[in-house]
Structure 1
Amino acid sequence: MQKRIEVTKSYIEENTLYLQTEEFKHQIKNVQDTMQMITDSDNVSFIYILDVNDEFVYVSIPASVWPNLKDVLHSEQKIVAIVNEHKIELEGLKEELEYLISNIEGNTNYGEEMVSKVEALFLDK
């Protein structure tokens, strides 16, 4: 079964967007950024993939934190996930998000709710 953690809140501090996750219930020896993102249309969220202890872990970014993502998307601000006591810069998030937004626009394969929320927030439609 795929390991998954949910972003529970986001905040901007000192030129960085922090994505705070729920507690990860496994010991973390090492964390690496895969620089890859996918969507979860069923749960209307973006999924950023981290490599934790040589296993992929899905970091679910729900629509509730998308406004902060939009605010930093075209800025120089960093985006950092906080998983337990670990801070991981998500270096590929902006590029991956821009790519997904362009694919989602008008594409019903992502589901009506996902398309309408992405278009409304990120594309002002």
Structure 2
Amino acid sequence: MDIYINEIKYEDDTLKCYVENDLTNKTLISTEQMIVDSDNFTIIYILDDGEEYIRTHFVSETWEMLARYYNKTVTVNDQVELKEFFTELDVLLDNIKDNSNYGKEFEGKIVETFAI
């Protein structure tokens, strides 16, 4: 299942991310794993609901907020904390910088936004 972050607010020292999907009937577990979709310019945090993985997409329009509030707690729909979000993002950023496998445009956008 794919869900897309469509709103981010910074409140109470937390980046509160929201999706349109109704997740209230799901028990979501943080997997502490991230991947990217460089073709579609998304950073993806993986959640597990016990039946399937839920790919939580952070489109490039959300990256500025992630960069501005780096290392803050990140939640989705006030329901689940995305544990180790920035630790995992650090690993991805280190791998993406100077790596043409992700495509020049994607790498450039990452480097520019996250100032790496």
TM-score, normalisation: structure 1: 0.85
The counterpart of 2:90, out of the listed 98, 101, 120, is 98
| 1:40-91 deviations in Å (ceiling 9; x for gaps) | 00110100000024310100000111111112224xx211111xxx611011
Shift of 1:110: 0.7
Residue equivalent to 2:74: 79
TM-score, normalisation: structure 2: 0.91
**2: distance between equivalents of 1:49 and 1:28?**
18
> Secondary structure, in 3 states, of the residue corresponding to 2:61?
helix
The counterpart of 2:109, out of the listed 96, 103, 117, is 117
1:64 paired to 2:61 = yes
For these two proteins, the number of residue pairs brought into alignment is 116
Shift of 1:29: 3.3
Unaligned ranges ≥5, structure 1 = none
> Secondary structure, in 3 states, of the residue corresponding to 2:32?
strand
Structure with the larger strand share:
1
**2: distance between equivalents of 1:10 and 1:97?**
17
Unaligned ranges ≥5, structure 2 = none
Alignment identity in percent? 31
